[in-house]
Every structure is written in structure tokens, then in C-alpha cells.
Amino acid sequence: MPCFNQGRFLAQAVDSLKAQSLSNWECIVIDDGSTDDTSQAAQTLAVAEGRVRFLSQQNGGPSAARNRGIDEARGRYVQFLDADDLIEHEKLKLHVDHLDRHPNDGLVYGDVRYFADEDPTKRLYSFWGEERPWVAMIGESQKPILTKLVSGNIMAMNCPLLRKSTIERVGMFDESIRGCEDWDYWLRCAATGIRFAYLSGENGLALIRSHTTSSSRDLVRMRDGHYSVRLKTGRLIRDARFRRYNFEAGANYLEELAFRDQTRRLLRLAWANATIWVYAYALLRILDRKHRLRTLARRLRSVLHSGA
């Protein structure tokens, strides 16, 4: 449980674990260099609840804190849970039972709901865009999983339960990525051949809190993280079709957000997803953008001259 200046939420996160129908768990709280009361709150929880362990480190970001927790974990399964979020009371049991019954599945995940700090009883599918489910439902066929992940993230950080052996096979979180690091990890799982399983049900939900200091509200961090994952995915995946799709999606994202250094980023993205088609497409995108900018400049000059 990584925690950076979220001490006020820690007790609620631990309470959601204490309410689990499966009681055989340990919670490792990692204070990631907080400057609030996280250390005091975590120590109090560890004294009161023997299943809670508290560790502290210099600030290294959420991935560094999760990696520290993984190193310290003693169980066969790993559940990620940020200090400001919750999980429903049956989640651990439902997901542990599934992995026990299906030894070929490397991770199992369920749905997510969002709640506002001011009204925790009201559950929403999303705080951004259309109010509808967005978590991908994977069936028996594993073929669509990489396609879906190259398109975008398919689940929140606290949705899955993973085998410890899955993490040993895939590796740790990339500490250089400080936004969308969960998406990067699921992509690496899929590229490594890990089998995903999906379980529906309200009692196994992951619950995400929205508040003023939520990391997901840091748009610059999330934007840069998204771009970093696109670059890394291009180097990770060898299939030319997926590289092409990854480049197209990344190029559209760059254009949609109007990155200031868009041409340079587009060229880096093309290099990471290197195929002849991608290079040609990148060149066309750059030329088209320059043409549109020149057209816009001509129109602007025309307007200015007509008003003079």
C-alpha cells in the first residue's frame, strides 16, 4: 500500500481489508517520503492490527513504493491497493478462490467504481467522460487482450489479484514511469503471455476515491505517462500490426492534446514503433500538420489585413 501524503485516508483503506471475508492477509504500508501524518497513522494502525506492517523510504514515486512492498510480501498472491482507495468485502476471497481453481490464470480482475470523497456511498462508473463501464471483460479467448491493451488501459490499479509467480515472471514496476504505470504493467503481463481472467460481481469491486490530491487529476503527469507507455510498448511488441496500431493511437493522442513539441514527440514515437509503414505515416502526419499550420497562418493574416 504506497502512501505519499495520504495519511488521512489510511485507516479507511485498512478497514476495507479488515472487512474482507478472507482473513488471511497482510498489508504492507510503504510511506514514500510523506511530509504529513502518514508515518504516525501507519504506525498506529500497525500496533492495533497485527496483519499491518509499516515501512518507510525516501520519496521514489508510487512504482518504487509498490516494488518495495512486492519485495516484502510473503504471500502467494498480491493485491495492489493505494492508500486513498478501497476494495469491496468479498474481493480477496472471490479472486483467491478463482486462482486456486484455475492454475493457468496468472491474474484475475473485476470491475471498478468511483466515489467522491464528499459522498462515499454514491458509486459511479467514471468521473471522466461518459458514465458507463469501461473495464474490459475478457472471456475464454485470450487473443483480444493485447489488442485491447494497446488501445488503452483496461482496468484500474486495484482491480486485479496477481500470483506472486506472475510478478516474478514479468518483473517489477518501471520506476521511471510516474503516470499510467499500471497500464504499462498489464501490457507487459500480456506481452509475456500471462493469462488474464475476468470476474463480474458487485462484491468484488475495486473502489477508487476522487479527491483534490488524486494522482489521476495530475493531467501533466498522466499525459506524460501515457506517452512514455506508448514509446515503451513500441519497443516491447514485435508484431508489426500492433506497432502500427500503437503508433496510430499515440499520434492521435498527441494531436488531440496539442503537445507543444508535437513533431519531435511524433518522430520519437515513430522510431519506437519502427516499421516502414510507421515511418511513412509519421512523415505524412508531420507534413499534413505543417500544411494545416500554414493554411491557418494565411487565414489569420487575411483576417488581420481585412481589419486593418
The full set of domains in the chain, from first to last, is 2-219 (3.90.550.10), 238-301 (no CATH)
**pLDDT for residue 282:** 63
Residues with Cβ < 8 Å from 101, sequence gap 6 or more? none
What tens digit of pLDDT does each residue of 266-288 get?
888 888 888 766 666 666 666 66
Higher pLDDT, 91 or 243: 91
Instruction: Please state the rounded mean pLDDT for residues 3-24.
Output: 96
pLDDT at 253: 85
DSSP code, position 195: P
Q: CA gyration radius for the chain? A: 22
The pLDDT value recorded for residue 159 is 97
Q: What is the pLDDT of residue 67?
A: 97
> Above 60 in pLDDT, residue 300?
no
CA distance 234 to 228: 10
d(CA 155, CA 153): 6
Q: How sure is the predictor about 39, in pLDDT bands with cuts at 50, 70 and 90?
A: very high
| Coil vs helix vs strand at 160 | strand
Q: What is the pTM of this model?
A: 0.87
Task: Mean pLDDT check: name the lowest of 97-101, 153-157, 160-164, 214-218.
Answer: 214-218
Q: What is the mean pLDDT of the chain?
A: 87
Mean per-residue pLDDT, 164-182: 95
Whether residue 122 has pLDDT greater than 60: yes
- Residue holding cell 488501445? 151
Amino acid 279: pLDDT: 64
Percent over 90 (pLDDT), the chain: 59
Question: Is pLDDT of 293 > 60?
Answer: no
Q: Write the pLDDT tens digit of every residue in 195-208.
A: 999 998 899 999 99
> The C-alpha cell of 48 is what?
492495533
Question: What's the gap between Cα 24 and its chain centre?
Answer: 27
Residue 303, pLDDT > 60, answer: no
Closest CA to 2 of 79, 113, 80: 80
pLDDT recorded at residue 304 = 45
Please report the pLDDT score of residue 305 as a whole number.
52
pLDDT of residue 228: 93
pLDDT higher than threshold 60 for residue 140: no
Tell me the CB-side half-sphere exposure of residue 229, using CA atoms within 13 A: 25
Rounded to 10 deg, the angle between the 262-272 and 219-236 helix axes is: 30
Residue 149's Cβ-count burial label (10 Å; 0-12, 13-18, 19+) is: buried
Integer angstrom CA distances of residue 63 from 145, 249, 250: 23, 25, 23
Lowest mean pLDDT among 17-26, 146-155, 160-169: 146-155
Q: Would you say 113 and 123 are in contact if contact means Cβ atoms under 8 Å apart?
A: yes
Spatial contact of 183 and 149, defined as CB atoms under 8 Å apart? yes
Beta-strand relationship, 86-87 and 160-163? unpaired
Q: What pLDDT, on the 0 to 100 scale, is given for residue 216?
A: 61
- At 239 the pLDDT is 85
